[in-house]
C-alpha cells in the first residue's frame, strides 16, 4: 500500500490503543493459568494475534470476542509436534520459545520477514545448556525438543529484555528451583518490570536481589477472572510528538500515569525539548512551543527513537541520540532506515554507530520514502509529513498493521489529508 500525506497541522483528541507489550504478557499468563479468564483488549494487531495463535498451538483455546480475548488455558501441553507461526513478532518468538521448552515435547517455530535472522543468542545457548535441543539459528523453522531443566541461568543485561522475560515466564513451570542472573548493565529494565508485574498479578512469586531472580519451581499460574490491557505508550508517542510540532495540540486518553511502560518517558523528553505537556491520571496533552535540541540516552527507550528523531528535526539546534545500537536488529536496521527516511525528506542527520546527531531546521522538504517493512518507520514518516513543505509518499505503508492497523484512520481523525493506493 502507498500512502500520500499532505502537510497538515494535527490537532484533537483520541483514545490510545491497547498496549501490544502488555497484551503479550497478559495472554501468556492467562494461557498458562489454572482457570479460564478474559483479557480485555480494545484493539488487536498482527503481533498480538501471532501470540494468541501460538498459544493455541501449544494447547490453549483463545478466541477474539468483541473487545476482549476469552482464554481457556493449556490444561495439558499438546504432545504432538507443535507448529507455531510467529509471523514477524520477535516478542512472540522470544517469550514462547522458553515456554515451549518448559512444556516439553517437540515444537517448530516459523517466522516471516527478518524474524528468522534476528539473533536468539544468548537465550539459545542457555536453553541448550539446560536440556533442550535446538536446530541452527537463522533457519526456519526453528525446531526445539527435549524438556527444560531447572538450574542456574545467566544472561547479559544489555541484550534483549525479551530473553529475560521469556525465561521468567517459563522457569516457574519447572519442578525444581532456578536462578536467573543478569550480568553487566541492564537495559530496557521497564519491560522486565512489566513482566514481573504480570507474573505477580497471576500468583507467580519471583524474588529479586539486585540483578538476580530466584524462581521457585512447581508454581501455578492463577489468572484473575478478568484483566485489562492498558493503553500503549509506544504508539501514543507518535501522536504526543505530533502535538509538539504544530497545531493546537493533541490529547491522548487511556494512558495510565503509573504505567511501567518505559516509553512513558516520552513526556519528560518532550518537556526537555520545550513542548507544552499536561498530564492527568489517565490522559495527557502535548501542544507546540519553541523547541530546542537535547541529549537523549535511548538505552531504555529504543522504540521511541524514530519519532523522537522527527521532533529533533523540528527543534532548533543539535540533538544527540545515543546508546541505540540494538535498533539494528529490529524489523529493519532501524538506525539505517530512520537515517534513510529523514535524509530523503531533507533532514540534516548524521548516522553514528549507536545513534544520530540531528541539526534541527524546523522543517523538511518531503519526498518518496520506503517503510522497509517496519511499522515504526512507516508511522515516523507519516508524522514527519507535518514538517514537510511538499507531500510525503510512503511505500509499503501497510507495515503499520503489525502493531497499529488503525493508524492512518486515526491520523485522518486528527486532521491529516492523505490518500491510500494499492501499490
Hey, what's the cell of 259?
Answer: 504505567
Classify burial at 289, counting beta carbons within 10 Å of its beta carbon; exposed 0-12, middle 13-18, buried 19 or more. Answer: middle
Report whether 422 contacts 10 (CB < 8 A).
no
Give me the count of residues in the chain: 423
Query: Which region, left, alpha or beta, applies to residue 254 given φ > 0 means left and ψ of -120 to 50 means alpha?
Result: left
Q: Give the number of other Cβ atoms within 10 Å of residue 82's Cβ.
A: 19
Of 47, 263, 303, 410, which residue is the catalytic one?
Answer: 303
Report whether 246 contacts 386 (CB < 8 A).
yes
- What does residue 212 show for φ and ψ, rounded to 5 degrees? -115, 130
Strands of 295-297's sheet, edge to edge?
Answer: 295-297, 317-322, 355-360, 348-352
Q: Which long-range contacts (CB under 8 A, 24 or more apart) does 412-415 make?
A: 413/12, 413/14, 414/10, 414/11, 414/12, 414/14, 414/239, 414/242, 414/250, 415/8, 415/9, 415/10, 415/11, 415/12, 415/247
Please provide the DSSP assignment of 326-340 as one string. Answer: GGGGSSS-HHHHHHH
* Strand pairing class (61-65; 68-72): antiparallel
Which residue, 319, 243, 217, 228, is CA-closest to 282? Answer: 228
Hey, what's the cell of 272?
Answer: 526537555
CA gap 351, 356 in Å, rounded: 5
CA gap 346, 368 in Å, rounded: 11
Listed in order, strand segments (DSSP E) in 224-322 are: 226-228, 250-253, 276-279, 283-287, 295-297, 317-322
CA gap 162, 77 in Å, rounded: 23
232 is catalytic: no
The alpha-carbon radius of gyration of the chain (Å, integer) is: 21
Residues with catalytic roles:
303
Amino acid at each position: 500500500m502507498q500512502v500520500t500525506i499532505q502537510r497538515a497541522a494535527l490537532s484533537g483528541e483520541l483514545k490510545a490503543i491497547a498496549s501490544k507489550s502488555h497484551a503479550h504478557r497478559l495472554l501468556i499468563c492467562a494461557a498458562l493459568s489454572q482457570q479460564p479468564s478474559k483479557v480485555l483488549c480494545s484493539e488487536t494487531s498482527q503481533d498480538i494475534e501471532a501470540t494468541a495463535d501460538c498459544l493455541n498451538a501449544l494447547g490453549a483455546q483463545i478466541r477474539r470476542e468483541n473487545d476482549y480475548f476469552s482464554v481457556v488455558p493449556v490444561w495439558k501441553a499438546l504432545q504432538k509436534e507443535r507448529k507455531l507461526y510467529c509471523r514477524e513478532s520477535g516478542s512472540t518468538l522470544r517469550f514462547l520459545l522458553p515456554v515451549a521448552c518448559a512444556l516439553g515435547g517437540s515444537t517448530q517455530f516459523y517466522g516471516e520477514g527478518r524474524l528468522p535472522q534476528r539473533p536468539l543468542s544468548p537465550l539459545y545457548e542457555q536453553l541448550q545448556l539446560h536440556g533442550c535441543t535446538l536446530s541452527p539459528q537463522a533457519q526456519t523453522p526453528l525446531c526445539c525438543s527435549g524438556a527444560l531443566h531447572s538450574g542456574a541461568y545467566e544472561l547479559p543485561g544489555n541484550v534483549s529484555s525479551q530473553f529475560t522475560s521469556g525465561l521468567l515466564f517459563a522457569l516457574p513451570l519447572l519442578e525444581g528451583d532456578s536462578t536467573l542472573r543478569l550480568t553487566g548493565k541492564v537495559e530496557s529494565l521497564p519491560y522486565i518490570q512489566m513482566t514481573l508485574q504480570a507474573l505477580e498479578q497471576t500468583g507467580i512469586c519471583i524474588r529479586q536481589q539486585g540483578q538476580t531472580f530466584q524462581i521457585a519451581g512447581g508454581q501455578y499460574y492463577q489468572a484473575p477472572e478478568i484483566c485489562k490491557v492498558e493503553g500503549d505508550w509506544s504508539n501514543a508517542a507518535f501522536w504526543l510528538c505530533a502535538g509538539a510540532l504544530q497545531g493546537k495540540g493533541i490529547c491522548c486518553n487511556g494512558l495510565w500515569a503509573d504505567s511501567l511502560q518505559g516509553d512513558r518517558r516520552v513526556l519528560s523528553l518532550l518537556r526537555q525539548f520545550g513542548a507544552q505537556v499536561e498530564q492527568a491520571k489517565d490522559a495527557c496533552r502535548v501542544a507546540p512551543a519553541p523547541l530546542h535540541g537535547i541529549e537523549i540516552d535511548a538505552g531504555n527507550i529504543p522504540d521511541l527513537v524514530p519519532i523522537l528523531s522527527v521532533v529533533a528535526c523540528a527543534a532548533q539546534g543539535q540533538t544527540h541520540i545515543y546508546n541505540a545500537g540494538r535498533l539494528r536488529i529490529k524489523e529493519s536496521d532501524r538506525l539505517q532506515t530512520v537515517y534513510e527516511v529523514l535524509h530523503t525528506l531533507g533532514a540534516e542527520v548524521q548516522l553514528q554507530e549507536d545513534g544520530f546527531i540531528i541539526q534541527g531546521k524546523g522543517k523538511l522538504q518531503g519526498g518518496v520514502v520506503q517503510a522497509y517493512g517496519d511499522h515504526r518507520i512507516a508511522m515516523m514518516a507519516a508524522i514527519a509529513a507535518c514538517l514537510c513543505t511538499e507531500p510525503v509518499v510512503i511505500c509499503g505503508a501497510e507495515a503499520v498493521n503489525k502493531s497499529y492497523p488503525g493508524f492512518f484512520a486515526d491520523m485522518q481523525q486528527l486532521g491529516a489529508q492523505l490518500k491510500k493506493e494499492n501499490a
